[in-house]
């Protein structure tokens, strides 16, 4: 039967780029970290490190305990983006890349004779060969081939590292039964809980459920979509319109207090505003999130949402941030009064949502467009002379604190986001 999608997922991507570039690190347990401090988390782990139980999210302190010889490498996001573009070009030389899904994932549509199993497998092998020859043998990938993109991604997860798996129509649904619900994309902890509440405990039960049952579990059309995907129906996940623009940052130890968090929030919001303008979008809602913890390891979160007149202007957005910050929690709910004192902010995120095209936005009656011209000038100077050339002063103490980072679903634009482009 017809195979229509080929999905490529690079294995331990950031760690593999580092090992490719540094022969001394090859074959060694290695973790990429946002900064060299014990209180942060690993953002990538080589397969050698994974053998010690170290993975994305493992605290560095714990990782060192598990593996004293662990190589810790400060992340070099600009480099990972440059390699990403190189890898897309290499894949593109074999077959057209339909969509980049994240910094280390992309999919290609199969057409003509490539939809036959033998040809599709040959193509996957030639992609791996091209990457090894043009990029390097440490940049391994797992490739999945299936009747649709969703199942091709599932297939790419079946064998790691350096996998190549095919799910054919006639393998369905039995081939999925060995998986756990959480192995399926789109089923996180909350969705799993909802499925359990609906009496669906296994992938086999999920596959046996009717579309109506899945609509109830997913609370809408997404349930029907899952029903179709599990049956191999072809889906074309288009370039869905961007739904949010935001940045988050784990605070370095010297900024783990209210003024530090404030400065970082300012910095992040100024970056987000610049990106919003570059995408010709405006936002109608702003969300601020902070996470706190104390020395006993107790954690608490706080977030505040503010509706605003659709805008992409830095000054207006900073005013909204100020408004939200007035409600900064003096007492953090859910923690004992005795431990309030040493609750420190350690994570800040700003997100702009409810986005629409700047062209379709009605200008405010009171808008004299001075801010628009000011923003244009700021963006121009920062693009020409480097990020941080000119900025609103509240971000000053955090200027070095929020360098470019890579959420897996967001590939930074080097022009817009690189604080320093590495050699």
> Residues 48, 105, 168, 417: which is the catalytic one?
105
Spatial neighbors of 226 by CB under 8 A, at least 6 apart, are 186, 206, 214, 218
Please tell me the number of Cα atoms within 13 Å of 315 on its side-chain side: 10
Q: How far is the CB of 58 from Mg ion (least distance, A)?
A: 16
CB of 227 to Mg ion, least distance (A): 27
Cα separation of 56 and 79, whole Å? 19
Shortest-Cβ-distance residue relative to Mg ion: 104
Exactly one of 5, 7, 9, 391 binds Mg ion (CB under 5 A); that residue is 9
Nearest residue to 139 via CA among 83, 214, 78: 83
- CA distance readout (Å), 194 to 154, 198, 309, 341: 21, 6, 35, 37
State CA 132 to chain mean position distance. 25
Nearest distance from C-beta of residue 13 to Mg ion, angstroms: 5
- Rounded CA-CA distance 283/276 in Å is 8
Q: Which residues contact 110 (CB under 8 A, 6 or more apart)?
A: 3, 4, 5, 6, 95, 120, 123, 145
Binding footprint of Mg ion, residue count (CB under 5 A): 2
Segment contacting Mg ion by CB under 5 A, of 54-62, 104-112, 227-235, 334-342: 104-112
CB closer to Mg ion out of 141 and 213: 141
Q: How far is the CB of 44 from Mg ion (least distance, A)?
A: 9
**CB-wise, 9 or 48, nearer to Mg ion?**
9
Under 8 Å between Cβ of 320 and 272: no
Choose one: 7-15, 207-215, 288-296, 371-379; the region binding Mg ion (CB under 5 A): 7-15
Interacting positions 36-75 with Mg ion (CB under 5 A): none
Q: Is 104 in the site for Mg ion (CB under 5 A)?
A: yes
**Part in contact with Mg ion (CB under 5 A); list of ranges 4-12, 59-67, 309-317, 392-400:** 4-12
CB of 408 to Mg ion, least distance (A): 8
Question: Among this protein's residues, is 105 annotated catalytic?
Answer: yes
* Minimum CB distance to Mg ion smaller for 48 or for 104: 104
Whether 150 contacts 235, CB under 8 Å: yes
Positions in 82-101 near Mg ion (CB under 5 A):
none
Q: Which is nearer to Mg ion, 136 or 329 (CB)?
A: 136
Pick 85 or 257: Cβ nearer Mg ion: 85
Pairing of strands 141-146, 164-166: parallel
Q: Which residues bind Mg ion (CB under 5 A)?
A: 9, 104
Residues labelled as active-site residues: 105
């Amino acid at each position: 039967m017809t195979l229509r999608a080929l999905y490529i997922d690079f294995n331990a991507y950031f760690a593999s780029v580092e090992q490719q570039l540094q022969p001394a690190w090859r074959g060694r347990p290695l973790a990429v970290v946002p900064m060299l401090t014990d209180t942060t988390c690993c953002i990538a782990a080589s397969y050698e490190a994974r053998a010690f139980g170290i993975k994305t999210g493992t605290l560095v302190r714990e990782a060192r305990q598990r593996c004293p010889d662990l190589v810790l490498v400060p992340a070099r996001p600009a480099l990972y983006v440059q390699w990403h573009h190189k890898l897309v070009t290499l894949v593109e030389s074999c077959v057209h890349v339909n969509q980049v899904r994240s910094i280390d994932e992309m999919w290609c549509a199969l057409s003509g004779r490539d939809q036959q199993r033998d040809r599709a497998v040959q193509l996957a092998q030639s992609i791996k060969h091209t990457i090894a020859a043009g990029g390097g043998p440490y940049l391994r990938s797992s490739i999945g081939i299936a009747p649709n993109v969703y199942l091709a991604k599932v297939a790419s997860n079946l064998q790691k590292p350096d996998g190549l798996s095919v799910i054919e129509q006639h393998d369905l649904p039995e081939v999925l039964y060995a998986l756990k619900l959480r192995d399926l994309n789109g089923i996180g902890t909350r969705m799993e809980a909802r499925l359990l509440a609906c009496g669906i405990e296994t992938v086999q039960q999920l596959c046996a459920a009717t579309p109506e049952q899945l609509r109830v579990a997913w609370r809408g059309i997404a349930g029907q979509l899952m029903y179709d995907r599990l049956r191999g129906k072809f889906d074309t996940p288009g370039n869905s319109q961007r739904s949010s623009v935001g940045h988050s940052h784990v605070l370095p130890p010297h900024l783990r207090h209210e003024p530090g968090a404030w400065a970082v929030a300012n910095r992040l919001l100024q970056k987000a505003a610049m990106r919003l303008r570059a995408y010709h979008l405006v936002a109608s809602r702003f969300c601020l999130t902070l996470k706190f913890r104390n020395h006993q390891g107790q954690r608490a979160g706080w977030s505040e949402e503010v509706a605003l007149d659709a805008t992409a202007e830095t000054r207006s957005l900073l005013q909204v941030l100020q408004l939200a910050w007035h409600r900064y929690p003096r007492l953090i709910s859910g923690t004992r009064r005795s431990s309030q004192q040493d609750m420190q902010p350690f994570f800040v995120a700003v997100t702009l949502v409810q986005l629409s095209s700047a062209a379709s936005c009605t200008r405010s009656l009171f808008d004299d467009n001075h801010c628009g011209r000011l923003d244009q000038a700021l963006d121009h100077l920062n693009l020409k002379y480097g990020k941080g050339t000119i900025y609103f002063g509240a971000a000053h103490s955090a200027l070095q604190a929020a360098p470019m980072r890579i959420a897996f679903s967001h590939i930074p634009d080097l022009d817009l986001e690189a604080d320093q482009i590495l050699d």
